[in-house]
Amino acid sequence: MTKRVMLIEDEPNIIEAIGFILSREGLTVDTHSDGTTANDKLRANRPDVLILDVMLPGKSGYDILRELRDDAATADLPVLMLTARGQSRDRETAERAGVSAFMTKPFSNAEMLDQVRRLLASAPRV
């Protein structure tokens, strides 16, 4: 069965780049770009891994992550958080919210693939 990755990101170039990298790896990639409706989209299309941007229109990635962790249905979903701001404060906020992995932009293709592979390997079997 093909593994599914959901990418919640509002920057078209990043969506295109990550989508290409992961699709080439044989993964199914769903995308969404609005923080306000992100959790509805996630619940409707339960992915194996979520890649989540910090800064989104409508709701921050931190808020989305906290909501996921508070819901038993998504509490164990592996989440890779992306941010253009790589300050230690941002990483600490993500860790407190329950992030699985954290990556700053720009990132290398190899780094992205390594993180997603690692998270897929640790993902709970549904």
Per domain, the residue ranges of the chain are: 4-122
AA identity, residue 11: E
Class of domain 4-122: alpha beta
Contact 72, 48 (CB under 8 A): no
The HSE-up count of residue 114 (CA atoms within 13 Å, CB side) is: 7
State the Cα angle at 125 between 33 and 35, rounded to 5°. 15
Would the pTM count as exceeding 0.85? yes
Dump pLDDT digits (tens) for 20-53: 999 999 999 999 999 999 999 998 999 999 999 9
Residue corresponding to tokens 């941010």: 83
Dump pLDDT digits (tens) for 89-120: 888 999 999 999 999 988 999 999 999 999 99
